[in-house]
């Protein structure tokens, strides 16, 4: 995957970097908050080859890109200049430039929770996995609970949960556009050993005559979020009233002097009360109908993910984990739902005759049963609908079992087969119930998907196209052409091809060099066939010629890539080198432009091989059949040295 190109495309299509108010990411999604949602070009974003789908819910504009999200996130934040907009990036009035989209209070709440928790997820998942490993070590007798090894590992695992307010202060500061360091400092006040000492003494505490409720804030969630929200206003006030000459000293002093006492005296106890109230409500439901919450979570989890509301229960779950050492709000139902999602998708992989869908369903189904369901949900079940219904039924049935047996999760991890150790704890039967929950979810969903079926998409737009090519034929992937449509002769002739006839087309070598398989290209976008089938040439002479007769339909300003639409329906993308877009046209020369008609053998681009290599770039050149789905059989000639005009591929 070309992360740089994808990041640039996404930034452009969400309305350019100026339209991005805030950006975070989770396991598979870029989570944007945009100044003006109308500037985002959703359909074009969905059409990008490496974008699974786009979701606009929960106060966020979410671009789902799969497991490569972190690399794409880094590219976009580099383009923005910073991962988030800090308080210093606001105008003097403390307000953001640009219109704000109106949101319901539910959307605002979910947006706050999502943005606040997203940066914290790696820490709590890492801590949760250590807890899970520790549980396995204890279960197998390799470590005892009285040993120093256990004590040290348990301390490492507990740290993220104990200091949760400090971690959340960072995420909340991003959401409320205030100083992260000041927010984390106020959180440190809530967790200071001096405060713990006052609680241990048990004496009445007063601050300037006002009674202070002694509350343990370790692992708390809502108090610090409310505190940081208030601090964002206090910081703006301090910025306005502080003289510019001494603002460096007075602004942080005012923020701490006002925020910290308010946090200890009023906001913290109020937030704790809200936190406890919500937790007691969930526990009351669980006490009277233990099956209800896992049933709802197991059934509705896909809906919660799609609508962006899956974050709503996270504060309760983390609070339960911190206080009780286990939680029953998220984990059991999510385990049932994730395994069911994987079962439905793997059933699709087994039954479909569409090669592309089979490949996608097999990989995303395996990922789903491990605990990451977005590729499965957005790429397969949501599109096919019936498998999604089967997954919701299977997840609900397994959720009932999980609830009736009292299944709990002992560590914060994404529930799935890879995280089953997180269900090992003080109750030895808990892991057994977790395994049975997985079996019920998978078997019920898999069987239902096979029984009710689904509408299998026709492979390559032609029924019966089930060719299995030899290992000389490169892997096929769906292709999306994002260049502007043209009413060219090439496009017209392509449309009149008789789909019931087999046409054999020969593609000529566009350059002199060594013909190699596409997997030799050190870029996953090309080597994995994500843009289509093709070949590659390692050039020995810096000249690129037209491999077919047709029209230039795309030509990069950097002159390193060109796309031709042939008169027989073929679409050829040629990309000189890897990451050579960064050269911005240096060492390339061409006079062609979009719309030019060319003949096979016409010189398109000249380039300096030695100069490109000297700047650290590969010159291996992919030649891609951009509409590979139109040609069921694409064969590559034997790898060898080739001259310009020699046949390198055959298209049927």
Give residue 218's pLDDT band: very low, low, confident or very high (50, 70, 90): confident
Query: What's the mean pLDDT in 74-99?
Result: 52
Query: What's the mean pLDDT in 230-235?
Result: 92
Token reading at 603 = 């010189």
d(CA 11, CA 18): 9
Residue linked to tokens 């460096």: 248
Torsion of CA 274, 275, 276, 279, to 10 degrees: 120
**SS3 of 554, please?**
strand
Res 75: pLDDT? 84
Do 442 and 581 share a domain, yes or no? Answer: no
Domain that holds residue 35: 3-80
Helix axes 331-351, 386-404, angle to 10 degrees: 140
Residue of 21, 26, 390, 581 with catalytic role: 26
Of the listed ranges 68-82, 415-429, 607-621, the one predicted with least confidence: 68-82
% of the chain residues with pLDDT over 70: 84
Of the listed ranges 270-279, 339-348, 440-449, 628-637, the one predicted with least confidence: 270-279
Please state whether beta strands 603-607 and 597-598 pair in parallel, antiparallel, or not at all (unpaired): unpaired
Closest CA to 105 of 59, 60, 62, 61: 59
**In this predicted model, which residue has the larger pLDDT, 8 or 628?**
8
Separation of CA 234 from chain center: 34
* Phi/psi at 307 (5° precision): -85, -5
**In this predicted model, which residue has the larger pLDDT, 499 or 393?**
393
Do 276 and 131 share a domain, yes or no? Answer: yes
Query: What's the mean pLDDT in 552-571?
Result: 86
d(CA 56, CA 73): 18
**In this predicted model, which residue has the larger pLDDT, 589 or 17?**
589
Give residue 229's pLDDT band: very low, low, confident or very high (50, 70, 90): very high
% of the chain residues with pLDDT over 90: 25
H-only helix segments in 263-313:
268-288, 292-307
Do 540 and 565 share a domain, yes or no? Answer: yes
Do 60 and 134 share a domain, yes or no? Answer: no
Under a CB-based contact definition with an 8 Å cutoff, are residues 624 and 531 in contact? yes
Q: Quick check: 437 pLDDT over 80?
A: yes
Do 157 and 211 share a domain, yes or no? Answer: yes
Q: Quick check: 501 pLDDT over 50?
A: no
Of 180-194, 268-282, 298-312, 625-639, which has the strongest mean pLDDT? 180-194
Torsion of CA 302, 307, 312, 314, to 10 degrees: 50
Q: Quick check: 483 pLDDT over 60?
A: no
Res 342: pLDDT? 93
Residue linked to tokens 């360091």: 181
Do 430 and 445 share a domain, yes or no? Answer: yes
Res 439: pLDDT? 96
Res 477: pLDDT? 36
Mean of pLDDT over the chain: 80
**SS3 of 635, please?**
strand
Do 360 and 220 share a domain, yes or no? Answer: no
Query: What's the mean pLDDT in 364-393?
Result: 86
Res 530: pLDDT? 63
Q: Quick check: 5 pLDDT over 60?
A: yes
The domain total for the chain is: 4
CB atoms within 10 A of CB 462: 13
Q: What is the 3-state secondary structure (H, E, C) of 320-345?
A: HHHHHCCECCCHHHHHHHHHHHHHHH
Res 100: pLDDT? 46
Q: Quick check: 390 pLDDT over 90?
A: yes
Do 248 and 324 share a domain, yes or no? Answer: no
Give residue 617's pLDDT band: very low, low, confident or very high (50, 70, 90): confident
Do 253 and 326 share a domain, yes or no? Answer: no
d(CA 434, CA 338): 12
Res 491: pLDDT? 37
Q: Quick check: 331 pLDDT over 50?
A: yes
**In angstroms, what CA-CA distances link 217 with 7, 127, 281, 410?**
39, 19, 20, 20
Res 443: pLDDT? 96
CATH number of the domain within which 27 lies:
3.30.1360.60
- pTM for this prediction: 0.51
464 belongs to a structural domain: no
Give residue 306's pLDDT band: very low, low, confident or very high (50, 70, 90): low
Query: What's the mean pLDDT in 538-565?
Result: 90
141-188, pLDDT tens digit by residue? 888 888 998 889 989 988 888 888 899 898 888 888 888 899 999 999
Q: Quick check: 500 pLDDT over 60?
A: no
551 belongs to a structural domain: yes
Do 320 and 267 share a domain, yes or no? Answer: no
d(CA 214, CA 198): 8
85 belongs to a structural domain: no
CATH number of the domain within which 515 lies:
2.70.70.10
Under a CB-based contact definition with an 8 Å cutoff, are residues 375 and 364 in contact? yes
Give residue 504's pLDDT band: very low, low, confident or very high (50, 70, 90): low
Give residue 140's pLDDT band: very low, low, confident or very high (50, 70, 90): confident
Q: Quick check: 341 pLDDT over 80?
A: yes
Under a CB-based contact definition with an 8 Å cutoff, are residues 320 and 279 in contact? yes
Do 537 and 602 share a domain, yes or no? Answer: yes
d(CA 325, CA 411): 8
Res 312: pLDDT? 65
Q: Quick check: 587 pLDDT over 90?
A: yes
Res 104: pLDDT? 59
Res 357: pLDDT? 84
306 belongs to a structural domain: yes
d(CA 489, CA 506): 19
> Of 238, 269, 284, which residue sits at a domain end?
284
Under a CB-based contact definition with an 8 Å cutoff, are residues 376 and 391 in contact? no
308 belongs to a structural domain: yes
Res 130: pLDDT? 86
Token reading at 297 = 């979570």
d(CA 17, CA 20): 5
Q: Quick check: 26 pLDDT over 70?
A: no
> Of 61, 80, 99, which residue sits at a domain end?
80
56 belongs to a structural domain: yes
Q: Quick check: 490 pLDDT over 90?
A: no
482 belongs to a structural domain: no
Radius of gyration over alpha carbons of the chain, in Å? 29
Token reading at 106 = 């539910």
Q: Quick check: 616 pLDDT over 70?
A: yes
Establish whether 438 is a catalytic residue. no
21 belongs to a structural domain: yes
Do 311 and 430 share a domain, yes or no? Answer: yes
Res 183: pLDDT? 92
Query: What's the mean pLDDT in 188-204?
Result: 84
Res 57: pLDDT? 65
Give residue 310's pLDDT band: very low, low, confident or very high (50, 70, 90): low
């Amino acid at each position: 995957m070309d992360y740089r190109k994808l990041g640039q495309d996404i930034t452009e299509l969400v309305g350019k970097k100026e339209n991005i108010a805030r950006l975070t990411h989770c396991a598979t999604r870029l989570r944007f908050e945009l100044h003006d949602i109308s500037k985002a070009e959703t359909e074009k974003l969905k059409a990008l080859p490496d974008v699974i789908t786009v979701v606009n819910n929960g106060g966020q504009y979410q671009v789902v890109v799969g497991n490569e999200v972190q690399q794409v996130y880094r590219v976009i934040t580099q383009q923005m200049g910073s991962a988030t907009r800090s308080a210093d990036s606001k105008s003097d009035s403390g307000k953001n430039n640009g219109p704000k989209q109106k949101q319901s209070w539910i959307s605002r709440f979910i947006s706050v929770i999502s943005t606040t928790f997203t940066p914290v997820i790696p820490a709590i998942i890492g801590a949760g996995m250590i807890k899970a490993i520790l549980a396995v070590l204890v279960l197998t007798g390799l470590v005892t609970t009285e040993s120093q090894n256990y004590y040290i590992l348990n301390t490492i695992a507990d740290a993220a949960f104990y200091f949760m307010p400090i971690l959340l202060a960072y995420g909340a500061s991003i959401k409320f556009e205030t100083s992260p360091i000041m927010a984390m400092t106020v959180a440190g006040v809530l967790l200071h050993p001096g405060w713990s000492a006052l609680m241990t003494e048990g004496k009445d505490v007063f601050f300037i005559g006002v009674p202070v409720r002694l509350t343990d804030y370790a692992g708390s969630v809502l108090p610090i979020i409310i505190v940081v929200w208030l601090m964002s206003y206090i910081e703006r006030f301090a910025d306005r009233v502080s003289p510019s000459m001494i603002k460096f000293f007075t602004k942080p002093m005012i923020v701490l002097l006002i925020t910290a006492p308010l946090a200890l005296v009023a906001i913290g106890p109020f937030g704790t009360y809200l936190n406890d109230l919500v937790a007691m409500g969930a526990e009351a439901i669980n006490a009277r109908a233990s099956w209800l919450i896992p049933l709802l979570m197991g059934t509705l989890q896909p809906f919660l993910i799609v609508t962006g509301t899956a974050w709503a229960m996270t504060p309760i779950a983390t609070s339960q984990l911190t206080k009780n050492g286990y939680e029953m709000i998220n984990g059991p139902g999510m385990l049932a739902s994730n395994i069911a999602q994987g079962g439905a998708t793997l059933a699709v992989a087994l039954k479909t005759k569409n090669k592309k869908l089979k490949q996608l369903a097999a990989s995303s189904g395996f990922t789903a049963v491990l605990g990451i369901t977005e590729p499965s949900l957005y790429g397969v079940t949501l599109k096919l609908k019936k498998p999604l219904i089967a997954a919701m039924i299977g997840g609900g049935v397994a959720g009932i079992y999980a609830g009736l047996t009292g299944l709990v999760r002992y560590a914060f991890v994404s529930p799935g087969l890879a995280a089953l150790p997180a269900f090992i704890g003080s109750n030895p039967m808990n892991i057994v119930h977790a395994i049975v929950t997985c079996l019920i979810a998978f078997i019920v969903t898999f069987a239902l998907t096979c029984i009710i079926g689904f509408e299998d998409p026709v492979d390559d737009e032609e029924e019966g196209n089930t060719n299995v090519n030899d290992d000389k034929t490169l892997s096929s992937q769906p292709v999306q052409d994002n260049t502007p449509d043209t009413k060219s002769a090439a496009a017209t002739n392509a449309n009149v091809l008789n789909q019931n006839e087999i046409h054999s087309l020969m593609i000529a070598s566009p350059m002199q060099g060594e013909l190699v398989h596409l997997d030799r290209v050190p870029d996953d976008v090309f080597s994995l066939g994500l843009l289509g089938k093709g070949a590659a040439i390692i050039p020995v002479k810096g000249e690129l010629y037209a491999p077919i007769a047709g029209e230039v339909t795309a030509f990069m300003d950097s002159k390193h890539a060109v796309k031709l639409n042939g008169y027989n329906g073929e679409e050829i993308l040629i990309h000189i080198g890897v990451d050579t877009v960064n050269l911005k046209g240096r060492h390339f020369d061409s006079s062609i432009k979009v719309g030019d008609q060319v003949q096979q053998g016409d010189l398109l681009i000249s380039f300096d091989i030695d100069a490109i290599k000297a700047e650290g770039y590969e010159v291996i050149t992919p030649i891609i059949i951009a509409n590979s789905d139109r040609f069921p059989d694409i064969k590559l000639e034997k790898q060898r040295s080739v001259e310009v005009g020699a046949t390198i591929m055959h298209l049927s």
